[in-house]
Amino acid sequence: MNRGRWIGYLVAPITIGGALGALVGFLFRTFNDAGHGNDSEAPLVGGCIGATAGVLLPVVYSLLLKQPERTAGNAASRRTLYFLLIATAISVNTGRVFLVRSRDTYTPMLSANDRSRWCTIRALVDHGTYAIDAFVNERHPQKTNRRPWHTIDMVQHRGEDGRQHLYSSKPPLLPTLLAGPYWCLQTLTRATVAQHPFLVIRSLLIVFFVAPLILYFLLLAVMIEHYGTTHWGRVLVMACATWGTFLTTFSVTLNNHLPAAISVLIALVVILPVWRSNACPTWRFAVAGLFAAFAAANELPALSFLALFGAGLFLRARWQTCCAFLPAASLVAAGFFGTNYLAHGTWRPPYAHRGDGPVLTTLTEAFGNDPWGADLLPTARHRLAAVGRKISDGAQLLSTRQPRRRELYDPQSEQRFALVATAGGDIQIREWDHWYDYPDSYWQSSKRSLIDRGEPSHVIYALHVLIGHHGLISLTPIWLLACYGAWLWSGREQTTARRWFAALTITLTLVCLAFYVGRPLQDRNYGGVACGFRWMFWFTPLWLICLLPAADVMSRAAWRRWMTYLLLLVSIGSAGYGFFNPWQHPWLYALFWNGG
């Protein structure tokens, strides 16, 4: 194809894409003007995004659809397409950072989830504490019914000053790490996240969430080139990576899923050569340990990845695993538990504080037919004083949702205790350890949305997680081919590295699926309001690599290729559904279950 035709093929889709993008941006601005505010930059950003996406159309047609056999093995054209796929994905997601904003338009924080983490960052830098109650309920100066910093993802417990405070329920390691760059930005520009939320939040998102995608895509390209065997299959996997998964969808909001997925890929890239060579530099084990542990620090179920990953390395190279992998992983563990202790005064994360604490003392006295009568308080006060926990005369006995349980609250010292009546008639006085149970708590009220109440049936929950409204397969059907690819790499004729990788991916997938399906009712909520089953997004690099052998097989016949295009198209549509806000229900949920 001559240069003139190439220019013609590029100008038309760029122009059309820019016009359509500007139209979408105009409609978006009009919608916001009608109800939420003014987005004057929306048409411009939309036009840029549409024009950038238009670049892909002629290239995909020429290199992938029109003549796949002719371009087979053409490394130069493949690198060109990699570059265009990565460049357009990064450009579009950078534009999205400047476009997305909350419904009230006061901040670019999109949900209670990311607000919870931003609250910790603000509290650390602006207030020098992890407690967020100083501003979490502050009202907008003009519209007092709005609370721009309010979040439901918080817990309450006593702080170092002995008073009850609110804290983010999210692990504090990631917000603590991001507090450093925010402090630098504030020092240089005098901009605070409270007064300049768009400048601060968008700057940090571009640097620490969009920009790392470049490294992620480049590392994937290395893996694709090494483990792929056909031109068509390699390009398909890169197209899926850049446009067909939820990782890019979530690049415009502060979250733990994207750092975890990137960490998993880095750990894999640096350590897979161990299975191809008997001699491997020790630094690879250290880097793998650092990032495998960081993945687990961001996604607690990724502890299974860290454990299996480390066990496999130990069997392969014991000395290097013990001397490099484990110490590096220990550094992250120290950071995880250290920041948790600084924030909450305990080594256990907030998720582990959902019940009554240890027994302080037991009341064996007979209280008649009414164990919660007037005689209980003086007795409880005396027995608590005997174990060194003095409460004032103004302590109150409060009812709870459970008939055999009461809360003993002292407003003077702000101490809370759980009183539990046993089957034998005694009353146990326990430490209060239910951090999610506090006045106006979303998690203890009837205000919880339908999805947050949990799915009663384990079977139905499993079906929806796999093929239902939050289905891994129904929303991203390209993962069907990843399953096929993992099976192909499990064969005995495959290399040790490929069989090890397939075994690791299959085992981790099954273990984590069983873990999530087996959770108690309150945790069977599909990850809350999100455009996919976000708790397994960190598997994305594993599944993309497993997609390679299946893509190579699908390239051998035209009908297979077109079937793959269909699977990829649905996957791209699902990922694109959360373009303006990834914190919304999946399109299947909104379409067939009315958004709950």
Q: Provide the pLDDT for residue 28.
A: 53
Q: Are residues 490 and 562 in the same domain?
A: yes
Residue 160 placed within a domain: yes
Q: Does residue 179 belong to any structural domain of this protein?
A: yes
Task: Give yes or no: residues 194 and 216 share one domain.
Answer: no
CA distance 482 to 493: 19
pLDDT score recorded for residue 141? 66
Show the DSSP H helices in 467-495 as ranges: 472-475, 479-489
CB-based contacts of 279: which residues, under 8 Å, 6+ apart?
none
Which range marks the domain in which residue 139 is found? 112-203
Residue pLDDT, tens place only, 223-244: 999 999 999 999 999 999 999 9
Global pTM value? 0.89
Structure tokens at 414: 């702000």
What mean pLDDT do residues 560-586 have? 93
What does the alpha-carbon distance between residue 236 and residue 58 come to, in Å, rounded to a whole number?
A: 15
How far is CA 312 from each of CA 224, 280, 500, rounded to the nearest angstrom?
Answer: 23, 15, 8
Same domain, 264 and 145: no
Residues 508 and 541 in one domain: yes
Residue 543 within any structural domain of the chain = yes
What region does 418 belong to: left with phi over 0, alpha with psi -120 to 50, or beta?
beta
Contacts of 271 (CB under 8 A, 6+ apart): 284, 285, 288, 309, 313
278 and 168 assigned to the same domain: no
Q: What is the count of structural domains for the chain?
A: 4
How would DSSP label each residue in 422-452? -TTS-EEEEE--BTT-STT-GGGSTTS-TGG
Hey, which bits of 95-250 come out as E strands? 154-158, 164-168
119 and 36 fall within a common domain: no
Which pLDDT value is given to residue 450?
84
Residue 117 shares a structural domain with residue 178: yes
71-126 pLDDT, tens digit each: 445 787 788 889 989 999 999 999 899 888 887 767 899 999 999 999 999 999 99
CB atoms under 10 Å from CB of 190, counted, come to: 9
Among 403, 418, 434, identify where a domain stops. Answer: 434
Which distant-in-sequence residues (6+ apart) come within 8 Å of 302 by Cβ? 260, 264, 295, 296, 538
d(Cα 586, Cα 354) in Å, to the nearest integer? 29
Token pair for 22 = 């500007």
Q: Are residues 324 and 376 in the same domain?
A: no
Residue 314 pLDDT class (50, 70, 90 cuts)? very high
Is 453 inside a domain boundary? no
CB 288 within 8 A of CB 309: yes
Please determine, for residue 596, whether its predicted confidence score (pLDDT) is greater than 70.
Answer: no
Quote the CA–CA distance of 24 and 514 in Å, as a whole number. 41
235 & 328 share domain: yes
Is the predicted pLDDT of residue 134 greater than 50, yes or no? Answer: yes
Asked if residue 524 belongs to a domain, the reply is no
Q: Identify the residue with better confidence: 494 or 553.
A: 553
Residue among 399, 400, 570, 357 nearest 472 (CA): 570
**Can you give the pLDDT at residue 15?**
65
In a domain, 428, yes or no: yes
| Boundary of a domain, candidates 65, 99, 133 | 99
pLDDT average, residue stretch 246-258: 97
Long-range contacts formed by 479-482: CB under 8 A, 24+ apart: 479/543, 479/547, 479/571, 480/567, 481/547, 481/550, 481/551, 481/554, 481/564, 481/567, 482/543, 482/544, 482/546, 482/547, 482/550
**Cα–Cα distance measured from residue 445 to residue 450, given in angstroms and rounded to the nearest whole number:** 12
Let me know if residue 66 belongs to a domain.
yes
| Cα gap 472→534, rounded to integer Å | 10
DSSP reduced 3-state for 360: strand
* CA 149 to chain centroid: 20
Of 509, 486, 485, 489, nearest to 497 (Cα)?
489
Compute the distance between CA of residue 321 and CA of residue 286 in angstroms, rounded to an integer: 8
Q: Where are the beta strands (DSSP E) in 234-384?
A: 359-363
With the CA atoms of 178, 180, 181 and 184 taken in that order, what torsion angle do they form, in degrees rounded to the nearest 10?
160
Domain stop point among 165, 188, 203: 203
| Position 542 in a domain | yes
Name residue 479's amino acid. W
One domain for residues 26 and 65: yes
Kindly state whether residues 561 and 416 are assigned to the same domain.
no
Compute CA 70 distance to the chain's CA centroid, rounded to the nearest angstrom. Answer: 41
* Distance, CA of 311 to CA of 304 (rounded, Å): 10
Same domain for 63 and 48: yes
Q: What is the mean pLDDT of residues 144-157?
A: 88
What share of the chain in percent tops pLDDT 90?
A: 63
Is residue 233 a contact partner of residue 240, using CB atoms and an 8 Å limit? no
Lowest mean pLDDT: which of 9-23, 394-408, 575-589?
Answer: 9-23
Three-state DSSP state, 333: helix
- Strands 415-421 and 396-399, sheet pairing: unpaired
